[in-house]
Amino acid sequence: MWKGEDYTEQFSMEAYMRDFYSVENILHTESPKGKMRRFAMKTFHEIFEKNSGNYGDRLFSFGTGPGVLEIISASRYFPNISCSEFIADGRKEIVKWLEKDPNAFDWSPFIKHISKMEGNESKWEEREKQLRDAITAVIPCNCLDPTNMTEPNYLKPFDTLLTSGVLDCSCPDIATYRAQLKLLIRKYLKPGGHFIQLGPLEADSWIVNGKTFHALYMTKEDVYSAWENAGLKVEQFYFLKYGEEDKFSDANYKATFIGKGIKL
Ligand SMILES: C[S@@+](CC[C@H](N)C(=O)[O-])C[C@H]1O[C@@H](n2cnc3c(N)ncnc32)[C@H](O)[C@@H]1O
């Protein structure tokens, strides 16, 4: 099984994009992956919508991946979004999209889907521009670095920090998750700032391009406890539980959580 430090060599961004951002799968099927991504899009939308305008201007997406899916909703409220990704190929994919490269991934079906939730599907092109304009940086990050998790290593703390499916992929054990979450919150989130995390519960592996990668086995209690230890007050947790009929072909997630909290 491949671990956090193996991602640079073993992880195929191309396969991840094909399998995990498939428009057909995500928007048009009842597959577990479709359910998971739609739950994420809807929940991020609700989180930002509910407290509109009260999250500040600057958002940090830690481990954005090769795509912009997790920040579409946020871009309606944050004029300044910094993206980060461990793997160079992933950063390149975001830059390709920002530069309107003809070979860039087409995010428009997802932007339309979210614009519809926002009540303005016909204005999806304006939202696409708003998203492009909001992204001010795409930088390297490494959640396993014991001191500096980004390059440049000093960034002014942000108003909101969002991380989706990253700490669970990279942290080998709960002790590392607790330590790195604490560091992330201490360095990159200002007091009173909001933290949002998406992750799997009770999973121990996932597969990309036929290669099995470690997933951190976490219970709800592990997550709450790590958040408290990092100086966060839990505000809200959302869960999507997978039933017997929801077997992922490439992961063994029991549930997906999205948590939202405030740094005390
Ligand atoms: C499941 S993907 C999530 C990507 C994106 N946030 C999403 O929701 O689609 C896992 C991400 O973790 C990143 N990753 C792997 N090891 C990492 C590390 N040591 N530090 C930070 N990110 C890492 C991978 O490059 C990949 O983009």
Ligand 1 atom nearest to CA at 70: 8
With a cut of 80, say whether residue 249 has pLDDT above it: no
Residue 53, pLDDT > 70, answer: no
User: Of ligand 1's atoms, which has the minimum distance to the CA of residue 40?
Assistant: 8
pTM for the complete prediction?
0.96
Name the residue of 20, 83, 166 to mutate for ligand 1: max ligand atoms within 8 A of Cβ: 166
Q: Could you read off the pLDDT of 119-178 as tens digits, one per residue? A: 999 999 999 999 999 999 999 999 999 888 999 988 899 999 999 999 999 999 999 999
CATH number for the domain harbouring residue 232: 3.40.50.150
**Gap from CA of 120 to ligand 1 centroid (Å):** 31
pLDDT tens digits, 80-95: 999 999 999 999 999 9
Mean pLDDT over 190-202 rounds to: 97
Range(s) of the domain holding residue 258: 4-263
CA of 11 from ligand 1 middle (Å) equals 10
Whether ligand 1 lies within 6 angstroms of the CB of 163 is answered as no
Domains in the chain, number: 1
Q: Hunting for tokens 């108003």 — which residue is that?
A: 159
pLDDT at position 104 over 80 = yes
Mean of pLDDT values over 53-72: 94
Kindly state the tokens that stand for 247: 């077997």
Mind listing the pLDDT tens digit for each residue in 239-248? Answer: 999 987 887 7
Question: In whole angstroms, what is the distance from residue 194 CA to residue 189 CA?
Answer: 8
The answer to whether the CB of 142 is under 6 A from ligand 1 is yes
Answer whether 115 contacts ligand 1 (Cβ < 6 A): no
Provide, rounded to the nearest whole percent, the portion of the chain with pLDDT above 70.
Answer: 100
Q: For the residues 103-132, what does the mean pLDDT come to?
A: 97
In b/e form, how buried is each residue of 178-204, taking b as 16+ CB within 10 angstroms?
Answer: bbbbbbbbebbbeeebbbbbbbbbebe
Is the C-beta atom of 144 inside 6 A of ligand 1? yes
Q: How many CB atoms lie within 10 A of CB 262?
A: 15
Indicate which atom in ligand 1 lies nearest the CA of residue 145: 19
Our answer on whether the CB atom of 166 is closer than 6 Å to any ligand 1 atom is yes
Q: What percent of the chain has pLDDT over 90?
A: 85
pLDDT at 243: 83
